[in-house]
Chains A and B, each alone.
Chain A
Amino acid sequence: MKKLKKIFILELLLFFILSSNCYATDQQISQDEILESQQNSLNISKFIEEANKYTENVFDDISIEELFNSAITGKIDNTSIWKKIINLIGKEIVDCLNVLGSIIIIIVIHSILRSISEGLENKSISQITYYVQYILIVTLIMTNFSDIIQMVRTSIESLVGFMNSLIPILITLMLTTGNIASARSIRTYNIVHHHFYWKFHNSSINTIYTYINSTWNCVKSI
C-alpha cells in the first residue's frame, strides 16, 4: 500500500511538472500545408521513393504517393487495387497453362518416337534412344522450373526490401499517434534477427518460410 501511494504521488508530480502549454491561433492553415510539414519532418518522401523502386514493375499506373495521400485524407480506393491483384493472378495462371500444354505435346512426341524405336530387337540401342529423349524432356521441364525459382527469388527479395523500408516509418508513425503498445508488439528484434539469418542461409527454404511467417505476423499486428 505504501509503495503504491509513493508511486501515485510521484506520478502526479511528474504530470504537473513535465506538461507543456498549448495555445490556439487565429491563423488559417490549410490541410495540405499540415500534411506537407508532417511529411517533411518524418522523412516520408524518402520512404515513398524507395517504395516506388520495388513496385514500379508490378503496379504501373498506381503510384505509392497517390495511395498514401488518399489514405491520409481518409478516402481509400480499394477496388482498383483488388482489380490489379486479380489481373496479375489471372495472367500467371494463363502462362502456367501454356507451359502445361507445351509439356503435354512434348510428351506425345516422345511417345511416338519411343514406339518406333522400341520395335528393334537390340535392347541396348532402344534403351539409349529412350534415355536421350528422356533427357530432352527433363531439360525442358527444368527450364520452366528455373524460371519459376527465379521469379520467386526476385519477388521475395523485393518483399524483403519493401518491408525493411516500411518498418521504421511504421513504428515512427505509430509512436507519434500514440499506439505505443502496437509498436512494441511488432517485435523488431525478431524481424532483424530473421533478416540476418536469411542473409547467411540464402538458399534454405526453411528460413525463407520463417521470414515470410514473421513478416506476415508483423502485417497482421498492424
Chain B
Amino acid sequence: MEDIIKIVGIGLIALIIIVIVKQYRPEFVLYISLIAGALIIMLIMNKVGAIIELLSSLSSKTALNNEFLVLLIKITGIAFLTEFTVSICKDTGETAIASKVDLGGKVLIISMSIPIIASLLETIIKILP
C-alpha cells in the first residue's frame, strides 16, 4: 500500500513542478520528467527482482533451458527502456528521434531472438522426413 502511494506521490509532484516551471524555463521540463521516471523505476526494482526470481524458479522445474528465460527477460527490458525513451522524446516534440530509437529497439529485439527462431527451424526440420 505504501509503495503505490509513493509512486503516485512522485508522479503528481513531478506534474505540478512541470506545470509551474513550464512558464518560466521550458527547457527544464525534460529533466524533471526524466528524473521522475528514474525515481519510479528505482522504487519498483525490488519487486521486479522478486518476479524474476519466481520465474526462474518456475523454469528450473521444467525442461525449459534457463538461458531462454534470461533472453526473454532481456527482451522485455529492452522493450520497456525503448518505450520510456520514445515517450520522453515525443513529449518534448522530437518525433524523429523517437522513431529512430523505436526502430533501433525493434531491431535489437529481433537480433536477440535469433537463437530462438533458429532452434524452432531446427526442430521443424527434424520432424520432416
Q: In the complex, which residues of chain B have a beta carbon less than 8 angstroms from the beta carbon of A126?
A: 79
User: In the complex the two chains form, what is the Cα distance from A112 to B69 in whole Å?
Assistant: 12
A215 at the interface (CB under 8 A from B): no
Say which one of A10-18, A64-72, A127-135, A170-178 lies at the interface with B.
A127-135
Evaluate contact between A109 and B102: CB separation under 8 angstroms.
no
User: In the complex the two chains form, what is the Cα distance from A5 to B39 in whole Å?
Assistant: 115
Evaluate contact between A122 and B72: CB separation under 8 angstroms.
no
8 Å CB contact of A125 from B68, B102, B123, B129: B102
User: Which of A101, A117, A138 counts the most chain B CB atoms within 10 A?
Assistant: A117
B92 at the interface (CB under 8 A from A): no
Evaluate contact between A146 and B123: CB separation under 8 angstroms.
yes
B19 at the interface (CB under 8 A from A): no
- Closest B residue to A132 by beta carbon equals B113
Q: In the complex, which residues of chain A have a beta carbon less than 8 angstroms from the beta carbon of B87?
A: 121
Interface of A is mostly: helix
For chain B, the count of residues having a C-beta within 8 Å of the partner chain is: 35
User: In the complex the two chains form, what is the Cα distance from A125 to B80 in whole Å?
Assistant: 9
Within 8 A of A (CB), among B35-91: 51, 55, 58-59, 61-64, 68-69, 72-73, 75-76, 79-80, 82-83, 86-87
- Closest B residue to A124 by beta carbon equals B106
A143 at the interface (CB under 8 A from B): yes
User: In the complex the two chains form, what is the Cα distance from A149 to B129 in whole Å?
Assistant: 11
Q: In the complex, which residues of chain A have a beta carbon less than 8 angstroms from the beta carbon of B63?
A: 102, 140
Evaluate contact between B116 and A122: CB separation under 8 angstroms.
no
Evaluate contact between A203 and B129: CB separation under 8 angstroms.
yes
How many Å from the CB of A111 to the closest CB on chain B? 11
Question: Residues of A with Cβ closer than 8 Å to B?
Answer: 101-102, 105-106, 108-109, 112-113, 116-117, 120-122, 124-126, 128-129, 132-133, 135-136, 138-140, 142-143, 145-146, 149, 202-203
7 A-B pairs closest in CB distance = A102-B62, A120-B83, A139-B120, A142-B123, A132-B113, A146-B127, A105-B62
